[in-house]
Structure 1
């Protein structure tokens, strides 16, 4: 809000600049681009300083004196004693000075609006500190550097600075970071993981499918909903242990949680441009020629907007009764294995519902179709 307070701190301990002839000051506009200006008077008035910057006497000019981290309004008829280190002035057409405080420090400004970047420079706040707008009844608001503060709105003039922190969960290790971005490789190293060991790395964001990322991917922690980085070891090929399940593409969080709980060895397989979720040890109800199969579900790129349709089994099965299984004659190659396709579809009375249906609900359809063929 505009301020008419022209009180100044005690300056008796500062001796005026002793120079013969002209005296140099630094004068800038609101852009803080200072240029040297020579004056013949060691005690100029605010009007003289405005004139030195090229403003006409008939213009309404606000002049600010910037010394140390203090910025104060200078009246047109007010005399300023030029002292070493206190020769910076800001002047521009304005109808008065506007006031704010940051970390308890008062700052007068010559316009209703001021950018956070300009405020940072005026208050000498380091780049490591973030600037927040204080609120009484809600959390303080982190301000972007380009944010324009409106000093005419009640309550926006109280600001504070503090070192900002961001959190990132890396496979259960919670990192506290002081920068809004981090490279995936650095995140793994800080969490105690060897980035060169070989990982499938996924970024989990609330409400979205996991996103595969690379070691050189930059994560912006300001992105809303970031939950964690998930690491899955790539296949072990040196004979030192069993291979981990192949997870070649990300799945929905709800599907991952269900599959981890019910089918821990599930795989996400890419083959010929098609995506498959494969359950290696799927148990069939009694009445079939085998007890366990590899069950595959095709996941379309636009899933879950597009439904999961049909299901596939390896090896192909028959009924112990000798009866023919309808609509299960076609074979489809998945990773060089011939899977038996079961053409089972939802009826118009029970269509696929995006946001509700998923792998779990489709497996319920699979179970019903398998039980129907053995009359259970």
Structure 2
């Protein structure tokens, strides 16, 4: 009688999936349905001398360490993670605790381990401060003591106005390059100014990031770096000197400015000073009257040419008077400091007065 030998059907062969800490799994054959942690590490290419941590990633989502001689139950899952590490750190994802054999973990790995859908955001829980959003590309350093806790949630959308165009971000930090590229501007062709309510304007560089959580953040304004008719630009007037912090700040704005004496008065004149969107023009020439005894004497009011006009056509109170400066009639904005916060020569200067100017311009159009 002839005895026939049959190979097990292909779907009955034992195959396991093994990955490193990147969770990129590959199929490996197994000669047993109960492989030990040591055999799994060996199949993955580890030598007996290497400190291998082996975890079984069970079908129910749990991650359980598998010791060298401990046998795995493949009915609970056929995925294994093998890592060379000296120890583990405790983390929690969606309330489920697990040991992670590394000092760092990326957002994409957290998403895979927690089986978090792509339309949900990942947050690192924090006490006494807002939870920190973790992008897939972010790498989080796990603290040595305690438990780092991660959760998912509805993505928080952040907005930024770039030269009148609004963009959104799922993370609270956006790079200047990303913000300008997404709105169609060449980052290298513009002087970039960040406007925050109640603060002087701040010039940004191409390598900077913008934290969209900043209280009062309003917009990014752009001014062309090089616009001319081919003629050399005349040297700006410097008829007198301002304070060193004033001149440094004005240089950082990236706008043309000059200090001139006209009709016996000392003027700081800033060209192409940006205006809020609700005015008919995008910019104006701004002038400040600088007293001879500045900073002991305060800078008061400000002046615009051509006159600033609301897009709605509504009149602006206390701007009817004009002032001749260099042969041009500037519109005078009668805006003054109150008694609560008077001018302080030890604290106030051109920089703080420009913040008052921007606040006054914005208040008239509801910004």
TM, length-normalised to structure 1 = 0.48
